[in-house]
A and B are shown apart, each in its own frame.
Chain A
């Protein structure tokens, strides 16, 4: 089928009459401008970091993103715990929380906070850290799925956060479940300040040309999230919480002095 399909296209394009495909369709090295963008990211000064932070503060409001700034892991953990205590679940009465198995989130040690005792915090299962290609047994998958459905708050980190649009970039990896940022009513994202980029252009340039990023690729699922779920489908009136999370809380952890 593919062959006939493509040959119909070739015919429509007049390939047999000598129209040749372009040779420069796929780029193999960054343009001069992209090289400048890459250096700009690598050599970011603290003044530029601050500029990014203030940009983020400006845009989060209109995008209905709740921005929280803290300077340490402990402070962040306390603030998240307070949020878990304060908010009430949308679908049931019991409070459950789910989270990524991710170095930064693990360091928050939410499970050991006394104020959260009694509230189950479910961690994304990784079957075998040393062998990431080994599939997770379906029973374990199903169990975690049920836990995510039960949870009213999902905690993730993000690869990057773009200041100009408050965009979080999340790739799928073992331990970094896609549904944690999607199914619970409240999405909590925790990001280190140094993961802040200024524009979408910087994000895409990194993803495309940075050697380490290039090696990993976009993965089978890259999600860019800018704000909570919203709809204007009834008389163009903006309502938050159509299908995805109703609230998005973004925690930025500054560099410890």
Chain B
């Protein structure tokens, strides 16, 4: 599912909050993964300091992307792999479809990959008549249900075992059960068939290592190893920022990512893929293709304010702690990228205006930054996005916010800067508020254009006296 439908943010958030199943799933997800990750950071042999150092590794890689990508491409070619560069989502899809058609591919098995979700690769392949099967269990469930993932690492967390049982009965024809091990076994059987017969395997790339010329894949299920070992072709798609210079840096970040993603010291299966099967080897793909995707990333790179966002390794740790995500879930964000990371990345990749609600919805509490294995300053960038929305920015094609709002703030600034005016304003407002409807001593509804503020909450009425007045009275009383 390419593109976004983030304009329905508010509507979807309402729905999510009213969904008791989703609410309990989100609570249990955050209750389990959030604290476990935090605890693991304390066990780092290098200490918490490693998170800061790893941030610098990432930053250095981003600042030297040109050199690193060329080194990676050269090394992979020397291992017998083929490297393709895709400036846009369409280019990437086209390259992948072309490789598939040239090799008469009919069926594809896929490992979970955010970037393929972002560029809408499945749609492209399906339009070319190729069958695509997602093989990560969560993604498989989502694909069968025709939905979007609701979490970067746990895509089907919003579905109950009963719903999955019904889905499997309907789509796979297996007898109904709500027992997770049996359901997993049903999927295992169905997918094993796909793995063994697929013509092509597609994976993402967690973090490439330029110096050695390898991409890496990480999974706990083993599905990515299956998809990249058994079919004759392996195509890997990577966002151009998912790279570091050398193995020392790569392993440090990989360990941090495992902690952030699944509260593990290291993912169950980590593979370094440098090329196709070497001659003399009895298995492994005959061809290895790497597609490196820009799709708006160079624009982020060029803007110093947002360059830090390219350090993100999409581990999902910020989702597991965010109080807003914890209530509204992943679907509200209307994009492959949800939660705090999505609130920054989605507007930057798909248009700040089109996804304007996302950055306004987050609370700026700072929890995401603390949870992020690389301490990426998401709150700072959320704020920067908000300021772009208010002031406008032609370089990002952002129209400034409604004039009304700006005029209002200008007036407020004027009133606030003049004590007499301020007192006068309060005296009038204090009288005027008496005609507003109240509930338990709180104002229930403000008049237009302020009614939005009270649509979800009651408001404390203005106090009978300002602080300054009370202070003055107190001082006089002392005399």
B22 within 8 A of A: no
A218 to B251, CA, bound (A): 13
A224 to B266, CA, bound (A): 9
The answer to whether A25 and B68 have CB atoms under 8 Å apart is: yes
B278 within 8 A of A: yes
Binds B, one of A45-53, A71-79, A197-205: A197-205
Which residues of chain B are near A2, meaning CB under 8 Å?
70, 73, 83, 85
Return the CB mask of B135-146 against A: 1 if under 8 Å, else 0: 111100100000
The answer to whether A233 and B280 have CB atoms under 8 Å apart is: no
Interface of B is mostly: mixed
Return the CB mask of B248-289 against A: 1 if under 8 Å, else 0: 100100010000000011111111111111111111100010
Binds B, one of A80-88, A108-116, A176-184, A249-257: A176-184
Return the CB mask of B60-74 against A: 1 if under 8 Å, else 0: 100111111111010
A212 within 8 A of B: no
The answer to whether A243 and B222 have CB atoms under 8 Å apart is: yes
Q: Mark out the residues of chain A between 213 and 247 whose CB falls within 8 Å of any chain B CB in the assembled complex.
A: 217-237, 239, 241-245
The interface centre, meaning the residue of A2, A8, A126, A167 with most chain B CB atoms within 10 A of its CB, is A8
Which residues of chain B are near A174, meaning CB under 8 Å?
280-282
The answer to whether B66 and A126 have CB atoms under 8 Å apart is: no
A102 within 8 A of B: no
The answer to whether A243 and B191 have CB atoms under 8 Å apart is: yes
CB within 8 Å: A-B pair count? 255
Of B138, B251, B281, the contact of A204 (CB 8 Å cutoff): B251
Which residues of chain B are near A200, meaning CB under 8 Å?
251, 255, 265-266
Interface residues on B, range: 35 or more
The answer to whether B298 and A244 have CB atoms under 8 Å apart is: no
Of A5, A199, A220, the contact of B87 (CB 8 Å cutoff): A5
The answer to whether B157 and A243 have CB atoms under 8 Å apart is: no
A4 to B88, CA, bound (A): 12
The answer to whether A9 and B248 have CB atoms under 8 Å apart is: no
Which residues of chain B are near A145, meaning CB under 8 Å?
283
A149 within 8 A of B: yes
Of A228, A234, A243, the contact of B161 (CB 8 Å cutoff): A234
The answer to whether B180 and A234 have CB atoms under 8 Å apart is: yes
A140 to B226, CA, bound (A): 20
The answer to whether B226 and A9 have CB atoms under 8 Å apart is: no
Binds A, one of B239-247, B335-343, B422-430: B239-247
A223 to B271, CA, bound (A): 4
Interface residues on A, range: 35 or more
B164 within 8 A of A: yes
A145 to B232, CA, bound (A): 12
Which residues of chain A are near B225, meaning CB under 8 Å?
178, 182, 223, 244
The answer to whether A226 and B66 have CB atoms under 8 Å apart is: no
The answer to whether B157 and A236 have CB atoms under 8 Å apart is: yes
Given A9-B298, A178-B281, A220-B276: 13 more A-B contacts, CB < 8 Å: A2-B83, A5-B85, A12-B301, A13-B65, A177-B282, A200-B265, A224-B266, A225-B269, A226-B264, A229-B222, A231-B221, A236-B154, A239-B184
Q: Which positions in B face A, CB cutoff 8 Å?
A: 25, 28-29, 32, 45, 60, 63-71, 73, 79-80, 83-87, 135-138, 141, 154-157, 159-161, 164, 180-181, 183-185, 187-188, 191-192, 195-196, 210-212, 214, 220-223, 225-226, 229-230, 240, 245-248, 251, 255, 264-284, 288, 292, 294, 298-299, 301-302
Could you name 15 residue pairs across A and B whose Cβ atoms are closer than 8 Å? Answer: A11-B302, A12-B298, A27-B211, A172-B278, A182-B226, A224-B269, A226-B269, A229-B221, A229-B269, A230-B220, A231-B137, A233-B154, A237-B180, A242-B184, A242-B188
